[in-house]
């Protein structure tokens, strides 16, 4: 029985996407998440286009994701 293995395909991209989603969820719940680079708290911002952005004071972390719902 053939088994498809997608584990090598876009694994890192998927992981980082999930990580980013989790990070945004955490901050959305009011948890403090620190920037991996400067160790300052990340801040959440939501734009009018339903895009959620997370960034730190110094700007070394800058993530933006579109919300699904
Ligand atoms: Zn930073």
In a domain, 18, yes or no: no
Sheet containing 62-66: order of strands: 43-46, 51-55, 62-66
pLDDT tens digits, residue range 25-68?
A: 999 899 999 999 999 999 988 888 878 889 999 999 888 887 66
CA 69 to ligand 1 centroid distance, Å: 28
- What is the DSSP secondary structure assignment for residue 13, as one 8-state letter? H
pLDDT given at position 68 = 66
CA 41 to ligand 1 centroid distance, Å: 8
**Boundaries of domain holding 42:** 33-69
In a domain, 58, yes or no: yes
Total domains in the chain come to 1
pLDDT given at position 43 = 93
Q: Distance between CA 12 and CA 29 in Å, rounded?
A: 25
CA 7 to ligand 1 centroid distance, Å: 30
CA 3 to ligand 1 centroid distance, Å: 42
Q: Distance between CA 49 and CA 61 in Å, rounded?
A: 21
- What is the DSSP secondary structure assignment for residue 22, as one 8-state letter? H
Residue 34 near residue 42 (C-beta atoms within 8 A): yes
């Amino acid at each position: 029985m053939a088994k498809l293995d997608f584990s090598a395909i876009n694994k890192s991209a998927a992981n980082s996407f999930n990580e980013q989603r989790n990070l945004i969820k955490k901050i959305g719940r009011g948890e403090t998440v620190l920037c991996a680079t400067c160790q300052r708290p990340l801040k959440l911002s939501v734009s009018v286009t339903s895009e959620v952005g997370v960034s730190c004071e110094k700007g070394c972390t800058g993530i933006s994701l579109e919300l699904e719902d």
